[in-house]
Structure 1
Amino acid sequence: MRVLVAGATGVIGSRMVPLLAAVGHDVLGLVRPGRDTAALTAAGAEPVVADALDRDGLRRAVRRAAPDAVVHMLTAIPAEIDPKRLARDFAPTNRLRTEGTANLIDAAAGARIISQGLAYAYQPSEGLADEDAPLWRTGTPKQFVPVLEALVHLERLTTLAGGLVLRLGHLYGPGSIYAADGSFVRQVRAGKVPLVGGGNSVFSFTHADDVATAVAAALDKPDVTGVLNIVDDRPVPLREWLPELAAALGAPAPKKAPAALARLAVGSWGVAFMNGLRGADNARARLRLDWRPRYASAIEGLAAEAADGKAGAV
């Protein structure tokens, strides 16, 4: 199958391209004009040069490439995010999720679409959210509103095209903020990540390799459409995994911070991120895709990443 990966050089794409090539797909990698394509070619992909926000140029390039499937993993998320200015920091990604999605679907000319969504945009509530649970419509932090609106738009366009949305958890693995050299891990090492308001957010994590294997599984099952949570088996509260990560890094134990005080520093989204998120259930993806995550929980996965980071530093 000819598979075009949009976002082929990102955290997910850099893990996905070689896997899809290894299992026998003809992989095409979308890259913007002026970008170096050597690494993409070395990973086993044929570069397709176009800007996802240039509707006409993208249509010409993609239709020449004639993919059977398009995997939309485009984001433009900065390496460090200011939670008080989340809307600003996510503006380029929001545009890729709205305008970029529309352009890709138009250019794909009937090819199957697989898009990236988020599994931590569910309305906060008790228990884990399955795919039928409502998204965060009540009491949504102001900075998260445009992010959610863009996600809803992406999902609507993808599902109307008969495609599949993979709702991902907090992404970790090489190149992510949770990698050994990532911004979040650097803050943990410096003792700058507190347990806000009890650390009650339940985190569903997704390793970049798990996204790659989920896409590979989905490509083999063209009848699977709609939305699926691609997350680990055992979501855990921040108050559990953050101390474990700090210990694995040899970092100071996280301090506690009242939500009211933290709001002054990180805003309502920062507090919600640390204290209000709902975890997601992956049972439907396990059943429909016959897919399994690499690590059952983030406690195992983040510890392994930390150990790899230490080994790499020796």
Structure 2
Amino acid sequence: MRVLVTGATGWIGSATVDELLGAGHDVTGLARSADSAASLEKKGAQALLGDLDDLDSLRRGASEADAVLHLANKHDWANPAESDRAERAAVEALAEALVGTDRPFMVANGLSGLCDGRPVLETDPSPAIGPDSDRGGSENLALGYVDRGVRTTIIRFAPSIHGAGDWGFVNFLVAAARERGVSGYIGDGSTLWSAAHRSDTARLIRLGLEQAPAGTRLHASAEESVTTRAIAEAIGRAFGLPVESIPAENAAEHFGFVGHFFGTTMTASSALTREGLSWRPTGPTLVEDIESGAYGTA
């Protein structure tokens, strides 16, 4: 397939581009700069210059592709409304270019806002509806195109997609621990996160593009429940730091913006994902990655 990938040079996207190329697919990655374009071309992919606000480039790239994988997001933590606006506009532009083609269209989402005290299931719909909701309601917007001849699937990512070089949430937790001289967890540390290794996630994305039926939600969740205390303890061991409980009222000061997420349970079952695509995660666990030096050592 000729696959258009937004976010192609990002943490998950770059591994997915490698996975797709290794499986024999042709890849075009959306590139915001000449350097990003060069890195894609060095791998053997093509580059489409543009960004999430360049809707004409998105439409053109989608119309020329056999499948579209949308991973990019502005992640503007200082202005989430802008991130949500851009996300909705990009999803709409890509989907409109695919109407009536029955081509695969995979859209990324997270677990934040989906959990209600139990692991999220693939059958659980997102409560985010409309442009003023989380991510601009892009998951439900994209799924609405199934009836218009688009093979939409959703890929929901665990809060930690981990591995060497990760610049996501765990990287910020490590940075806070090193700056403060203590690896912290919030309260009693019983808050739960799901996790998956980057390589397992990239393989799942490829399998989903190749095989998943329209309307499918996939969960990149290799470990369903890792306690935040276990994460903090692994960071403490890796960097030789004491491990302490941080009161919830001090979480923002200690952890920065990631404190909100670290204090929120975000877990998902992947039972239907594994059954439907024969996905079998083989990568290291989150704790194993931290302890083996994926995020640095003392």
Normalising by the residue count of structure 2, what TM-score does the alignment of the two structures yield? 0.83
Q: Contact 2:55–2:93 at 8 Å: present in 1 too?
A: yes
Shift of the 128–217 alpha-carbon distance from structure 1 to 2, 3 Å rule, reads same
Instruction: Write the distance in 2 (CA, Å) between the matches of 1:253 and 1:29.
Output: 43
- Gapped regions of structure 2 (runs ≥ 5): 147-151
Correspondence for 2:149: none
Choose which of 82, 89, 99 in structure 2 pairs with 1:99. 89
Structure 1 counterpart of 2:139, one-letter code: E
Instruction: Write the distance in 2 (CA, Å) between the matches of 1:288 and 1:18.
Output: 23
Moved more, 202-211 or 160-169: 202-211
Choose which of 236, 240, 255 in structure 1 pairs with 2:230. 240
Q: Contact 2:163–2:294 at 8 Å: present in 1 too?
A: no
Alignment of 1:66-145 (within 5 A): 66-77=64-75, 86=77, 88-109=78-99, 110=101, 111-125=103-117, 127-133=118-124
Q: Contact 1:119–1:229 at 8 Å: present in 2 too?
A: no
SS in 1 for 2:243: coil
Q: Contact 2:85–2:135 at 8 Å: present in 1 too?
A: no
Q: Give a deviation string over 1:180-214, Cα, whole Å, max 9, x none.
A: 9x443222233355222212220111332222101
Identity, in percent, stands at 26
1:265, distance to aligned residue in structure 2 (A)? 6.4
Shift of the 303–225 alpha-carbon distance from structure 1 to 2, 3 Å rule, reads farther
1:259 and 2:257 matched: no
Alignment of 1:295-306 (within 5 A): 295=283, 297-304=285-292, 306=293
Q: Give a deviation string over 1:128-159, Cα, whole Å, max 9, x none.
A: 2212346578xxxxxxx999923361111221
Correspondence for 2:137: 153
Moved more, 1-10 or 147-156: 147-156
1:308, distance to aligned residue in structure 2 (A)? 7.7
Question: Aligned pair count?
Answer: 289
Instruction: Write the distance in 2 (CA, Å) between the matches of 1:26 and 1:224.
Output: 22
Instruction: Write the distance in 2 (CA, Å) between the matches of 1:31 and 1:2.
Output: 16
Q: Give a deviation string over 1:282-303, Cα, whole Å, max 9, x none.
A: 1111111111223364222333
Choose which of 186, 202, 221 in structure 1 pairs with 2:192. 202
1:279 and 2:267 matched: yes
Instruction: Write the distance in 2 (CA, Å) between the matches of 1:166 and 1:105.
Output: 16
Shift of the 7–108 alpha-carbon distance from structure 1 to 2, 3 Å rule, reads farther
Structure 2 counterpart of 1:9, one-letter code: T
Q: Contact 2:154–2:217 at 8 Å: present in 1 too?
A: yes
Correspondence for 1:225: 215
Q: Contact 1:242–1:254 at 8 Å: present in 2 too?
A: yes
SS in 2 for 1:12: helix
Shift of the 291–92 alpha-carbon distance from structure 1 to 2, 3 Å rule, reads farther
1:271, distance to aligned residue in structure 2 (A)? 5.6
Q: Contact 1:232–1:296 at 8 Å: present in 2 too?
A: no
1:278, distance to aligned residue in structure 2 (A)? 3.6
- Gapped regions of structure 1 (runs ≥ 5): 79-85, 138-144
Q: Contact 1:71–1:114 at 8 Å: present in 2 too?
A: yes
Shift of the 97–245 alpha-carbon distance from structure 1 to 2, 3 Å rule, reads same
Structure 1 counterpart of 2:123, one-letter code: D
SS in 1 for 2:29: strand
SS in 2 for 1:37: helix
Q: Give a deviation string over 1:37-75, Cα, whole Å, max 9, x none.
A: 111011121112233322234323443xx1110000002
1:231, distance to aligned residue in structure 2 (A)? 1.0
Q: Contact 1:59–1:103 at 8 Å: present in 2 too?
A: yes
Instruction: Write the distance in 1 (CA, Å) between the matches of 2:176 and 2:253.
Output: 18
Instruction: Write the distance in 1 (CA, Å) between the matches of 2:260 and 2:207.
Output: 33
Q: Contact 2:194–2:225 at 8 Å: present in 1 too?
A: yes
Instruction: Write the distance in 2 (CA, Å) between the matches of 1:307 and 1:265.
Output: 22
Aligned Cα root-mean-square deviation (Å): 3.2
1:12, distance to aligned residue in structure 2 (A)? 1.1
1:165 and 2:150 matched: no
